[in-house]
Amino acid sequence: MKKFLLSSVAAIVLVGAGAASAADLPSRKGPVVAPVYAPIFTWTGFYVGANAGYGFGNVNAGTVFGGRTVSIGDLDGFVGGGQVGYNYQVGQIVLGAEADFQGADLSTGSNAFGDSVRTEYFGTVRARVGFAVDRFLPYITGGWAYGNVKTTIGGLGSTDKTHTGGYAVGGGLEYAFTNNWTAKVEYLYVDLGEKNVLNSGVKVGTDFSVVRAGLNYKF
């Protein structure tokens, strides 16, 4: 009986020692890695950017002294500038506001009488409404527009006026290729309204379309 008890105690000690040694051995399992979730992209935030494109449009005029009708023709040329704005996303709806300023080389050239119209800058302040499909954002936009119109009427002189009663409407598609950088293509119709030039009775109105590409950095 005594030998049996001693043998049992010895066996228990050996099993315990083996378990302790096993517990001290390094685990074959790797460290527990917490799951990594990619952040969900959002359009919410401020942004700044630059753009460049092409403008083309019309010049509407009237009649000068002596009954001569002013027919200046179409204008076209390069446009480029910068924009700043803010977007706020609710579900898939993206609401935003954007202001841009454009340098322009929009000109009609001169007709046979020396009449011409030129626009060297314009800008807009617009609202934007878009529908986000992950990183794609088709949108529509519209708001206020302003710009300068240099008008030359042959035999009467020239004038340079800033038109502030215009409007702009359009739409575009923007894509976020990183969480901070986005690229867009956009169409705008800009109407700068009419102004009387040189007290001649001629009201010159300028409207044009703009097709441009842009790059934005989102904060």
* pLDDT higher than threshold 60 for residue 8: no
Query: Residue 19 domain-assigned?
Result: no
Residue 153 half-sphere exposure, CB side, CA atoms within 13 Å? Answer: 23
pTM: 0.80
| Segment 86-108, tens digit of pLDDT | 999 999 999 999 999 999 999 99
Predicted pLDDT at 100 = 98
Predicted pLDDT at 188 = 98
User: The CATH number of the domain where 95 resides is what?
Assistant: 2.40.160
Which residues have C-beta within 8 Å of that of residue 116, sequence separation ≥ 6? 72, 107, 108, 109, 110, 151, 152
Mean pLDDT of 62-67: 71
Query: Residue 211 domain-assigned?
Result: yes
Domain range for 110: 60-218
Query: Residue 194 domain-assigned?
Result: yes
Query: Residue 184 domain-assigned?
Result: yes
Query: Residue 33 domain-assigned?
Result: no
Q: What is the mean pLDDT of the chain?
A: 85
3-state secondary structure 145-182: EEEEEEEEECCCEEEEEEEEEEEEEEEEEEEECCCCEE
* pLDDT higher than threshold 70 for residue 5: no
Query: Residue 46 domain-assigned?
Result: no
Q: How many domains does the chain divide into?
A: 1
Q: Which residue has the higher pLDDT, 86 or 32?
A: 86
Query: Residue 172 domain-assigned?
Result: yes
* Distance between CA atoms of residues 77 and 57, nearest Å: 10
* Distance between CA atoms of residues 213 and 53, nearest Å: 6
Q: Which residue has the higher pLDDT, 133 or 10?
A: 133
Predicted pLDDT at 17 = 44
Query: Residue 188 domain-assigned?
Result: yes
Q: How confident is the model at residue 39 (pLDDT cuts 50, 70, 90)?
A: low
